[in-house]
Amino acid sequence: MFAINHPGCSRISNIIVKKNLSYRTYFYRFPVRNFLFILFILPASMPAFSQSDSASFFLQKGLQEKQNGRLMESYKNFNKAASYDSSSKTILKEYASACMDLRKYGEAIETYKKLVALGDESEENYRQLMILSFNLKQNDDVLFYANKLKQSGSAGKVNYYLGKVNYDGDNYGDAIKYLALAAKEDPTDAEIPYMIAHSYADMMNYKQSIPYFQKAIQLDSTRNYWIYEMGLIYYALHDDKNSLKYILLAGERGYRKDADYMENLGIAYLNVGDLANGIDIMNGILRKRPSDINILGMVAEAYYYKGKYQEAMDYWDKILEYDKENASALYMIGLCYQKKGEKEKGVRLCDKAIEMDPSLAKYREKKMMAGL
């Protein structure tokens, strides 16, 4: 037996040489403790190196694909890089940006939240979170991130988002407050005065809404629906001339001339005393809806106020054909007879109508019915 030094350890067992064999057999007996230590250390260190190396590899590949304009491929590589290293701000920023490019808003918002959680509370990240929350209808988060931006002194459309979220939530007080600030920041955005106008209109403060409707239409004259709405607002204010003006303008700008539009246009004509155009439109509606009691009544009243009592009676007679118990129509026919000079017959019909509906008596007593 001979003892030799081994370069791999401080001490090694003897090498046993069996001389009688035609070949030599060597038995290396390492200490058990050293062998187990090597088995533990090597596998533990190799995966950590492999993950870091993989994250860097896919990050670089993603950047190359991004430079080449291959957005989907860059997204896939950034996704893989993030799976290997979810704490790298560099990787997460590129991954979030790729998600935004492909409109993968759900992934994007979670990635920006991770960046903030890692301490990257930048204005850019908060702004992206505010916009993404807005697009995803997460209004509470919009308010949270918008206020974070305001606290940091950020410029931009922060007030717009605060105003829009409050407007969508019918919180008109805060909506008007923030939208007024947003209008100063961007006086060219037509949607801002429109939302203020609509806020006032929804609170039935029609007079206050008009200047904002006018401003919105001035900034964007292609929004025919806004023009139509303003016509209806003028109708509510009993400004019949402007009501007709803007309802007509909406139609000229391409607003769809459906049944509701034509009915409101007909009413607008009648309200300004244009009997010919108003009746023509209403008769067009009645050809499609011959038993529409409301339209028949409006045409009858229009004729009545123009002193055309026989024509008015004809339309109230049509109402009675469809509804024999309609006491109001009978009462108005009685008034028409009185206007035509047939007072006795008219009074008799009015009395009969009051028997059918005693509430009509107040009109006779106060002379409130149809201008009497």
Pick the closest to residue 80 from 54, 110, 106, 108 (CA basis): 54
Handedness of CA 98, 103, 109, 110 (dihedral sign): negative
CA gap 143, 350 in Å, rounded: 62
Q: Which among 245, 232, 178, 181 is positioned nearest to 204, based on CA atoms?
A: 232
Q: Please state, in angstroms and rounded to a whole number, the distance separating the CA atoms of residues 132 and 155.
A: 18
Give the pLDDT confidence of 191-240 residue by residue, as tens digits: 999 999 999 999 999 999 999 999 999 999 999 999 999 999 999 999 99
Residue whose structure tokens are 């007072």: 343
- Distance, CA of 211 to CA of 346 (rounded, Å): 48
Taking only the tens of pLDDT, the chain with its 372 residues reads 434 444 444 443 443 344 444 434 433 444 545 544 444 444 544 454 466 788 899 999 989 999 999 999 999 999 999 999 999 999 999 999 999 999 999 999 999 999 989 998 888 999 999 999 999 999 999 999 998 998 887 767 899 999 999 999 999 999 999 999 999 999 999 999 999 999 999 999 999 999 999 999 999 999 999 999 999 999 999 999 999 999 999 999 999 999 999 999 999 999 999 999 999 999 999 999 999 999 999 999 999 999 999 999 999 999 999 999 999 999 999 999 999 999 999 999 999 999 999 999 887 655 544 444
Is 305-372 a domain of CATH 3.40.640.10? no
Which residues 6+ apart lie within 8 Å of 98 measured at CB? 62, 66, 71, 74, 75, 78, 79
- One fold for both 1-120 and 305-372? yes
CB 198 within 8 A of CB 230: no
Domain ranges across the chain: 1-120, 305-372
Give the CB-side neighbour count of residue 173, counting CA atoms within 13 A. 0
Q: What is the CATH number of domain 1-120?
A: 1.25.40.10
Q: Are 75 and 105 in contact (CB under 8 A)?
A: no
Give the predicted TM-score (pTM) of the model.
0.73
The Cα 372–Cα 79 span in angstroms is: 80
